[in-house]
Chain A
């Protein structure tokens, strides 16, 4: 509980460096049984260091798959629709703010 200072906590703004997308979870072995055992505990006793990295080594084989699922999307080329939208933001700067959603108006 002492250090909440995972590197994620102190990273600079923006995209955290996710270094290599595929942490090595291959030694996960049967750690899943341990995870399963504490599953009904409202306060699983993982310490606060908590960042995924810290747990990675003890996770079942599939844990790596979550990262892969996520990273597979992160690595996809960005569809043009997003580039268009982002480009549109620049144009909007002069013309008031048509992107302003009514719900977010102050």
Chain B
């Protein structure tokens, strides 16, 4: 792995700074788990990814700027770890059957509740870069600007990805037309891999922290 170009060292952290860092890191773990779950679908894989992220974050803590968003910083690490893993292992994103029983709270007046499983499955059929954009903005509550920083791309790109992701989900969820696990479909699978490679090739990848 090529080293990161930005290597400005900061002075070693004091014990109290380390304690602060650890506290913030601890606070952000549930969010890392949620982001990872959305990215890769399977809880066990997601948690592995979070563990990896925590180790990397801890090792790189001197590159964290105190006072900035720990959540955004660690999300960058997590996403880079995710892309690296995906490149090594090819696509392993799988739908988690355990969420199948859960039902989203149906808004008043809606005839048919949307199942959490449908949502999750639909989400996992999206190309990775649109999925992460939608996760960051639509689920994680990041602004477009923050999401753009995390993904290392322009704000307009994030907006475009979110817009397309929403349109795709809208079509799937409103029309009930959710493809089965796309993994089983060779054409779709190849398309996913190609898009993934594009993302992984640095198209939209932020400065590497891993």
Chain A positions within 8 Å of B, measured between CB atoms, are 4, 6, 8-9, 11-16, 18, 22, 25-26, 28, 32, 35-36, 38-44, 46, 48-53, 59-76, 78-79, 81-82, 85-86, 89-90, 92-93, 97, 99-101, 103-104, 106
> B180 CB to closest chain A CB, in angstroms?
19
In the A-B complex, list the 8 residue pairs whose CB atoms are closest, starting with the nearest: A39-B167, A70-B139, A50-B144, A73-B34, A26-B107, A44-B163, A66-B139, A51-B143
Are B209 and A104 in contact, with the CB atoms below 8 A?
A: yes
Among B47-55, B181-189, B195-203, the stretch in contact with A:
B47-55
Are A6 and B38 in contact, with the CB atoms below 8 A?
A: no
Per-position 1/0 for B89-123, Cβ under 8 A of A: 00000000000001011111110001010011001
Cβ–Cβ < 8 Å partners of B3 in chain A = 106
Count, chain B residues at interface, CB 8 A: 77
Interface residues of chain A: helix, strand, loop or mixed (majority): loop
Per-position 1/0 for B35-67, Cβ under 8 A of A: 101100000000100110011101110000011
Give Cα A64 to B55, complex, Å. 32
Can you report 28 residue pairs joining A to B where beta carbons are below 8 Å apart?
Answer: A8-B146, A9-B143, A12-B67, A13-B68, A15-B24, A32-B174, A39-B168, A48-B145, A49-B143, A52-B139, A60-B170, A62-B174, A65-B104, A67-B139, A69-B38, A69-B116, A69-B119, A73-B33, A73-B38, A75-B30, A81-B51, A85-B54, A86-B22, A100-B59, A101-B210, A104-B56, A106-B3, A106-B9
Assuming the A-B contacts A15-B70, A68-B116, A69-B119, are A61 and B107 also in contact, with contact meaning beta carbons closer than 8 angstroms in the complex? yes
Chain B positions within 8 Å of A, measured between CB atoms, are 1, 3, 7, 9, 15, 18, 22, 24-31, 33-35, 37-38, 47, 50-51, 54-56, 58-60, 66-71, 102, 104-110, 114, 116, 119-120, 123, 134-135, 137-146, 155-156, 159-160, 162-164, 166-171, 173-174, 209-210
Cβ–Cβ < 8 Å partners of B171 in chain A = 36
Are B119 and A62 in contact, with the CB atoms below 8 A?
A: yes
Are B210 and A104 in contact, with the CB atoms below 8 A?
A: yes
Assuming the A-B contacts A13-B70, A14-B71, are A101 and B59 also in contact, with contact meaning beta carbons closer than 8 angstroms in the complex? yes
Give Cα A68 to B123, complex, Å. 13
Are A62 and B155 in contact, with the CB atoms below 8 A?
A: no
Cβ–Cβ < 8 Å partners of B142 in chain A = 8, 51-52
